A and B are shown apart, each in its own frame.
Chain A
């Protein structure tokens, strides 16, 4: 429904362009609800992982013997920073600075891609030492949880990438702002999940 939306005199956009229209508001609310569901989805994965931690794995392939702190720390920093750059992009979107928004989104993408590359490297490494999807219940649970997260990252990269390309030459308006905003929520959520992954899977795995 086309409301006459009040535009901010400075930015030329409504104060919250992502939910200025009914469509935008719908998307915004719906996406949050979706994230509520995703919370439970990842909880189920975490639960499974916790239930199967180290189960069926030989000593040398247990969590405390295979995880490496350096790489995980590096990945964490990449993803955390990408969360910040995503915030910066959204701030610039609201301020109607398409150029800077695009810049920060690209940085976000690059950081995300770096994360993904590191994860792939990590998985290949595990594969070589024998910790695989089918090697033990622990392996299955580990790859399912971390892999689901990785798949989310991948999807996020494609999504934000598509949005960027599609809107490269278009101004920010109440039609595409919700799309950007929602994708950024998604990206933050990926980071939220990662916080638990590095804490519970990796760090706790290293001490247990």
Chain B
């Protein structure tokens, strides 16, 4: 491959960086839009009393979980390269969190 002069490659790079950051920007905006959407869904469902009580719980929690994963994976970039241990530890934390809540929900009376 032919070597381009320095400043031209710099420009090229600059463009790439811009494009990259634009992609990232759009991605984040889309995530945000989805979060807002999920929030609307949740509030809307309750506001309009669309569901029987027993279904509402599951529905709301599922929406919340989706939204939280958007936060973790998109906003917080949990899945970045080199984050294996971070992801592992977060999942362990989530696991412990789930059994803790489940216990305090189910194992008291």
Contact = CB atoms under 8 A, between A and B. Distances in A.
Q: Do A and B come from one complex?
A: yes
Interface of A: 8-11, 29, 32-33, 35-37, 39-40, 42-44, 46-48, 50-51, 69, 73, 76-77, 80, 83-84, 86-88, 91, 94-95, 185, 188-189, 191-192, 195-196, 198-200, 203-204, 206-208
Given A80-B39, A88-B28, A200-B64, A47 B100 contact: yes
A44 B17 contact: no
A94 B18 CA distance: 12
Interface string B1-29: 00000000010011001000100110011
A196 B68 contact: yes
Given A32-B89, A195-B68, A200 B46 contact: no
Nearest to A51: B104
Contacts of B14: 10
Given A10-B14, A11-B17, A36-B90, A76 B71 contact: no
Interface of B: 10, 13-14, 17, 21, 24-25, 28-29, 32, 35-36, 39, 42-43, 46-47, 49, 51, 53, 56-57, 60-61, 63-64, 67-68, 71-72, 75-76, 78, 83, 85-86, 89-90, 92-94, 96-98, 100-101, 103-105, 108
Given A32-B89, A50-B101, 7 more contacts: A32-B90, A43-B100, A69-B43, A88-B25, A188-B75, A195-B64, A198-B39
A37 B92 CA distance: 10
Nearest to B91: A36
A51 B105 CA distance: 5
Contact of B43 (A33, A37, A73, A188): A73
Given A11-B17, A44-B100, A207-B53, A39 B64 contact: no
Nearest to B25: A91
A11 B83 CA distance: 24
Chain A CB within 10 Å, residue with most, of B29, B57, B72, B100: B100
Contact of B60 (A33, A37, A204): A204
